[in-house]
Amino acid sequence: MAHEHSLRLGLLLDLLRRPRWLLGNLAEVGAVVLQFAALRRGSLVLVQTLLVAGLLFALPLGAALQHRRLSRLDWTGTVAVVVGLGLFVAVGRPTRGRGEAAAGAWAVVLGLGCLVVAGLIVAAPREPGPNRATLLGGACGVLFGLDAALAKASGHLLDRGAAHVLSAWEPYALAALGAFGFLLAQSAFQAGPLGASLPLITAADPVTAALIGVLAFHERVAGDPAAVAGQALAVVVIVAGVWVLARSPLVTGPPPTGPG
């Protein structure tokens, strides 16, 4: 796959010729629909944090496809993610908050978010490799967090009727940023090994969404010192578990074999 197609529509045209890619993204459509439904009723903090659990389902699937067993390191990463998620929900006790954000809050959120995304893309080396994959992965995670916030707002508009959806700007911004986020993710995966991009995508998404949820949608998490310390510990444990799992051959696939 030509590197010059990175961040260009030509990359998607190349991928469309791959049946496995099409099958995987067909499943992704179902996941997006379920995510939209969850965000429509739940909080950004809770829903996007729980999406980290998707890696746990990638492991047994990868094991089945590769006819392998989970290693001790795989189990360690799995336990870390599960314990971290459980601890975060238990001590954070996130609340739902509002269904929409004020215009001023949107201006700050989208302005800062897009600035961070643009900065990471510009900072990424032009040549493929782990560094480019990592920075593009970080940009993708931030963009996915913005998309989640727009999806929550669009779901709230849908509760008020189709006319509100069609006359508002949020669904159109969601479509535009969602399409670019999809291209950005494929470019990150193309740029280097999956283990270089996936951890940052998986971690930056819920962190960005949580910040937006608290600052723009008035969602709340427990703020006493013990709860804050517990949430910080939970985030560290989750990120460590994600880092381990994202580098597992069951997620990244077997290493390429050299010429015999």
What is the mean predicted confidence (pLDDT) over 191-216?
87
Question: To which H or E segment does residue 33 belong?
Answer: helix 19-41
- pLDDT value at position 258? 45
Q: Are 205 and 144 in contact (CB under 8 A)?
A: yes
How big is the chain by its Cα radius of gyration, in Å?
19
pTM: 0.84
DSSP labels for 58-73?
HHHHHHHHHT----HH
DSSP labels for 151-211?
HHHHHHHHHT-HHHHHHSSHHHHHHHHHHHHHHHHHHHHHHS-HHHHHHHHHHHHHHHHHH
- pLDDT value at position 139? 95
* pLDDT per residue as tens digits for the range 106-137: 999 999 999 999 999 999 998 888 899 999 99
* Mutual angle of helices 103-123 and 194-215, in 10-degree steps: 160
- pLDDT value at position 4? 52
User: Greater confidence, 224 or 17?
Assistant: 224
